[in-house]
Amino acid sequence: MNIVILSRSPVLYSTQSLARAARLRHHSVRVIDYFNCDLIIDGIKLIVSYKGQIQTDIDAIIPRIGTSWTGYGAAVIRQFEQLKIFSTLSSQALVKARNKLVCSQILSAAGLPLPKTIISNNSQSYSSLMNEFDGDKVVIKLINSTHGVGVLLANKGTQAQNILETFTRSNQKSLIQEYIQEANGTDIRVFVVNNKIIGSMKRQAKAGEFRSNLHQGGSSTEEKISDQEAKLAIQAVGALGLKVAGVDMLRSKRGPLILEVNASPGLEGIEKTTRNDIAGEIIEFIENNVVQE
Ligand SMILES: Nc1ncnc2c1ncn2[C@@H]1O[C@H](COP(=O)(O)OP(=O)(O)O)[C@@H](O)[C@H]1O
Ligand SMILES: [Mg+2]
């Protein structure tokens, strides 16, 4: 098969791991920087050109879209979708999963448990909205945050209100969320490929930090998840229409809560922590779905 990995750089861990897994299975692999793809729409013909070359003979694409390039990444995927090329990530699912607000609305509509979340543009109501939350702290997040950057823990009083006002004034969309204190700086990452759980790990924030992101100095260990957690992870991925995803969950007093679903989940943390061949599973998923002439 001819597989294209849409990635900003061939040296990224996940890109290399996927390329290696594909070559091991005797596929031909190309890495294309989607941001530098030219999209040609010529009447009813859609063409993707990269470095002056029209991209043809592609059996499948694996989009690895960075959060800063979601919009253009989705456009490139859409162009390939119109060409009926198999993709491990649909443009629609990417756009839905990337926006924390849209994602929460979809998951909630699907009956999945989430931390209580409020979105508001009204500075006047911030103080009364705080009464919606128990405890003396709330989590404030930029809607498009990633790697824990733009995720803050704040006291419910003037501190939270000042942060919200600053975000609103600088035109940054944010949300207020119930702080799940009992999670104790840990969360669970569940890796799902084609409705199957292929790895799970627990991430622990470094001392004095509540965010467990590995990019914020967190550490990870392999973790067995409960049947309920497995079911929720698969339902969440299904609700968003994803096939390859990383689901983050918090263990709360009232059971597991879904924090977010990552549409281009990194492979480094999960592969190194679980020693599972995650990239191989993704390639196998493609093999099972692309009909070769
Ligand atoms: N409501 C919350 N209660 C407790 N901890 C949280 C909450 N929201 C986020 N965290 C912690 O902060 C980390 C980053 O938050 P997350 O929503 O995943 O943002 P990002 O997309 O930037 O990773 C999570 O992995 C978790 O450890
Ligand atoms: Mg996260």
Q: Confirm whether 132 is domain-assigned.
A: yes
Residue minimizing CA distance to atom 14 of ligand 1 = 148
**Same structural domain, 47 and 75:** yes
Question: Is 104 in the same domain as 244?
Answer: yes
pLDDT of 277 over the 80 cut: yes
Nearest to 123 by CA among 86, 74, 153, 168: 168
Identify the residues whose C-beta falls under 6 Å from ligand 1. Answer: 115, 139, 141, 145-148, 151, 177-180, 183, 187, 210-213, 248, 250, 259-260
Q: What is the pLDDT of residue 143?
A: 85
Which of 144-153, 254-263, 275-284 shows the lowest per-residue confidence on average (mean pLDDT)?
144-153
Question: What is the CATH classification number for the domain harbouring 133?
Answer: 3.30.1490.20
Show which of 153, 179, 205 is a domain's final residue.
179
Rounded-to-integer distance, Cα 251 and Cα 258, Å: 9
- Let me know whether 137 and 261 are in one domain: no
Mean per-residue pLDDT, 155-168: 92
Residue 292, pLDDT > 80, answer no
Is the pLDDT at 73 greater than 90? The verdict is yes
Establish if 44 belongs to a structural domain: yes
Same domain, 173 and 202: no
Distances (CA, A) of 101 to 59, 116, 143, 146, 247: 34, 12, 7, 14, 16
Across the chain, what does the average pLDDT equal?
95
How close is the Cα of 274 to the center of ligand 2, in Å? 18
The enclosing domain of 61 has a CATH number of 3.40.50.20
Percent of the chain topping pLDDT 90? 88
Q: Do 103 and 132 belong together in one domain?
A: no
Range(s) of the domain holding residue 36:
2-89
Q: Are residues 190 and 257 in the same domain?
A: yes
If one counts the domains in the chain, the total is: 3
109 and 199 housed in the same domain: yes
The pLDDT of residue 288 is 97
Whether 80 has a pLDDT exceeding 80, the answer reads: yes
Boundary of a domain, candidates 146, 179, 212: 179
One domain for residues 255 and 227: yes
Using the predicted structure, report yes or no on whether residue 293 has a pLDDT greater than 90. no
> Which ligand sits closest to the CA of 174?
1
Shared domain for 72 and 191, answered yes or no, is no
Query: Residue 271: pLDDT band by 50, 70, 90 thresholds?
Result: very high
pLDDT in tens, 5-54: 999 999 999 999 999 999 999 999 999 999 999 999 988 888 899 999 99
| Inside any domain, residue 292 | no
Q: Which pTM was predicted? A: 0.94
Overall average pLDDT of the 197-208 stretch: 97
Percent of the residues in the chain that have a pLDDT greater than 70, as a whole number:
99
Strands (E), 186-243: 186-193, 196-204, 219-222
Q: Is the pLDDT of residue 96 over 90?
A: yes
Q: What is the pLDDT of residues 114-138, one digit of tens each?
A: 999 999 888 788 888 999 999 999 9
State yes or no: pLDDT of 237 exceeds 90. yes
Q: Which of 108-112, 146-150, 170-174 has the highest mean pLDDT?
A: 108-112
286 domain residue, yes or no:
no
- The answer to whether residue 201 is domain-embedded is yes
pLDDT for 144 beyond 80 = no
- On whether both 81 and 106 belong to a single domain, the answer is no
* Residue 229 pLDDT: 98
Maximum distance among all alpha carbons in the chain? Answer: 64
pLDDT of residue 108: 97
- CATH code, 221: 3.30.470.20
Give residue 170 CA to ligand 2 midpoint distance, Å.
23
How do 86-87 and 60-63 pair as beta strands?
parallel
Tell whether 289 is covered by a domain: no
Distance 85 CA to ligand 2 centre (A): 30
Note the pLDDT of residue 145. 81
- Domain final residue, candidates 134, 150, 179: 179
Assess whether 102 and 194 both reside in one domain: yes
Q: Say whether both 222 and 105 belong to one domain.
A: yes
d(CA 194, CA 123): 43
Mutational test site, ligand 1, from 100, 152, 201, 213, max ligand atoms within 8 Å of CB: 213
CA of 117 to the centre of ligand 1 (A): 12
> Has residue 287 been placed in a domain?
no
